Amino acid sequence: MKTPCFRKIELAIPAYWSPEEALAVVDLIDDLRDKIWAHYGLQLQDLIAEQHQPKPRDQPDPTQPELPF
């Protein structure tokens, strides 16, 4: 039995969609993105800017393990 992974969602895209069906899904995703940006735009811009700030050199990188010496 495979252990479930709760950190990701597998999403299979059917290979049998017609071009019209695929375009309808793309349009839906575009509309969803537009509505998310309309509601969260400023917060998303702040978060993106924060994520792209350089890390200060005098602080240890939390993703790196501590060295024993």
Alpha helices (runs of H) in 16-60, residue ranges in sequence order: 19-51
* Average pLDDT value for residue range 16-23: 96
Tens-digit pLDDT profile for residues 26-62: 999 999 999 999 999 999 999 999 998 887 776 666 7
Does this model's pTM top 0.75? My answer is: no
Can you give the C-alpha Rg of the chain in angstroms? 20
Is 21:15 a contact under the CB 8 Å cutoff?
A: no
Q: Which residues contact 37 (CB under 8 A, 6 or more apart)?
A: 44
